[in-house]
């Protein structure tokens, strides 16, 4: 805890110069515990990154200290903002030390991805990525700029940890990075990929919503019938490659679910969303706007404190932007996020199961973790797409018994794990979409296992 308090104190100290020869360069805290900057991943497309070096780092040549690259979902949700200040970073939104920060197990690299998300920006909106593969290529370019000239970073294995739609970016990035590593273009050691409540197979998730909500009494038979009808329509559209139309139908289905459940929270089906119910006739753009705002709304309920400043936008466009100093004046945190979502509507409903299969075949460690109470990426849907894998070890994995998880040596069951070879699945009890927030202790233990870091 003393290390964390010192970390917080350094937040307000002076920073190294940010201008060199009229050019913006990465800047850092005086003690080198933090570093951040922009990478121009394509002409006029600027991606922001922020690296935290752990005060808990253990120097052990036999177990190199890991780096976790955190990828947020949305698409268009900010890892630098949400993942950092609301989930796993060193400070919360009140700039208080987080006891459950993932810095206890690894260095943390947050990226606002794709370009246009968070502090990242494009000078021409035509430069937004149109699919997950393009996003993976941009992230690979960023990693090349960060790792190729830094031998210290190259010694640490990189673990890509993703949440929600970030899982689709994670698998396309991992394949792109492996290709660059094999070609000698990227000097990096990939430690593994972790997919947290990830939108890998949209078809399987939309089919899980109705039956799950019916089982927990949130939908009646009429609501279930409407849900299943729209799910079948989405399945047909995906099979025919009509991905934009499938995104429209997804929007309608969310409206049907909301209206027939009286506003169930898509990130925790035990809760109400606290948002206006969306009818099935609501415009797609409004549905997307609501979807991108659900992250902060749900997390705000969890972390709300009396008298505290819980508005992440105010924090990011105020104190944090002032601290970082390199964010252009005309860039507002999250100001282009709506454009990111709309640009990806043709890829939003495309599955990425095949990419997971490719990673497993290449021997990459793949971990899946899912919160019991999540709806949007329900465990029921995750289990369904896992059974579609063509990986040679699948049947053996499915036949194995699960091992219970605890927080510490005693106490109630916190979840289960099953593993076979390079594939691992965590069922996290009592957690919704945001596992590190709902179950921080078991999430830290899980991270130790994923990264092979000290427990």
Note if 231 is an active site residue.
no
433, 438, 445, 453: the catalytic one is 433
Q: How far is 397 from 337, CA to CA, in rounded Å?
A: 39
Distance CA 47, CA 35 (A): 14
Residue 46 annotated among the catalytic residues of the structure = no
What does residue 114 show for φ and ψ, rounded to 5 degrees?
A: -75, 175
CB 201 within 8 A of CB 357: no
- Single out the catalytic residue among 92, 112, 265, 374: 374
Tell me which of 33, 54, 78, 164 is the catalytic residue: 164
280 is catalytic: no
Q: Which two tokens stand for residue 332?
A: 């507002």
CA dihedral 245, 251, 253, 259 (to 10 degrees): -150
Q: How many CB atoms lie within 10 A of CB 393?
A: 13
Q: Quote the CA–CA distance of 110 and 72 in Å, as a whole number.
A: 9
CB proximity list for 107: less than 8 A, separation 6 or greater? 51, 52, 53, 54, 57, 65, 66, 67, 68, 156
What are φ and ψ of residue 423, in 5° steps? Answer: -125, 130
Given a contact cutoff of 8 angstroms between Cβ atoms, the answer to whether 275 and 295 are in contact is no
Q: Tell me which residues are annotated as active site.
A: 164, 374, 433
């Amino acid at each position: 805890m003393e290390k964390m308090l010192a970390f917080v104190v350094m937040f307000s100290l002076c920073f190294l110069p940010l201008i060199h020869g009229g050019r913006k360069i990465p800047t850092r805290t005086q003690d080198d515990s933090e570093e951040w900057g922009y990478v121009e991943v394509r002409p006029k497309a600027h991606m922001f990154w922020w690296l935290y070096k752990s005060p808990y780092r253990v120097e052990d040549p036999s177990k190199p200290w890991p780096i976790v690259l955190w990828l947020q979902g949305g698409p268009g949700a900010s890892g630098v903002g949400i993942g950092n200040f609301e989930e796993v970073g060193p400070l919360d939104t009140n700039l208080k030390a987080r006891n459950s920060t993932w810095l206890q197990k690894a260095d943390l690299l947050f990226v606002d991805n794709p370009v246009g998300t968070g502090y990242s920006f494009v000078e021409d909106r035509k430069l937004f990525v149109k699919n997950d593969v393009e996003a993976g290529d941009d992230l690979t370019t960023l990693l090349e700029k960060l790792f190729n000239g830094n031998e210290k970073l190259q010694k640490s294995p990189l673990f890509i940890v993703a949440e929600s739609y970030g899982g689709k970016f994670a698998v396309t990035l991992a394949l792109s990075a492996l290709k660059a590593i094999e070609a000698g273009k990227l000097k990096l050691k990939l430690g593994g990929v972790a997919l947290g409540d990830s939108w890998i197979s949209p078809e399987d998730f939309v089919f899980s919503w109705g039956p799950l909500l019916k089982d927990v009494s949130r939908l009646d038979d009429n609501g279930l019938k409407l849900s299943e009808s729209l799910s079948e329509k989405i399945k047909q559209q995906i099979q025919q490659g009509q991905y934009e139309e499938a995104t429209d139908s997804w929007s309608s289905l969310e409206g049907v679910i909301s209206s027939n459940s009286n506003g169930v929270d898509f990130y925790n089906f035990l809760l109400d969303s606290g948002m206006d119910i969306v009818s099935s006739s609501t415009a797609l753009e409004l549905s997307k706007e609501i979807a991108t705002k659900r992250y902060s709304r749900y997390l705000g309920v969890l972390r709300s404190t009396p008298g505290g400043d819980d508005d992440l936008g105010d924090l990011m466009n105020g104190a944090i932007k002032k601290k970082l100093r390199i964010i252009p004046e005309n860039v507002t945190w999250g100001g282009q996020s709506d454009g990111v979502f709309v640009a990806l509507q043709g890829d939003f409903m495309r599955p990425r199961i095949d990419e997971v299969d490719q990673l497993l075949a290449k021997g990459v460690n793949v971990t899946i973790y899912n919160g019991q109470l999540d709806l949007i990426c329900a465990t029921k849907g995750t289990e369904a797409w896992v059974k579609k894998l063509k990986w040679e070890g699948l049947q053996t994995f499915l036949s194995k018994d699960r091992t219970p998880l605890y927080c510490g040596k005693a106490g109630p069951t916190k979840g289960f794990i099953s593993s076979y070879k390079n594939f691992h699945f965590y069922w996290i009890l009592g957690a919704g979409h945001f596992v590190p927030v709902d179950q921080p202790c078991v999430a830290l233990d899980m991270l130790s296992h994923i990264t092979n870091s000290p427990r």
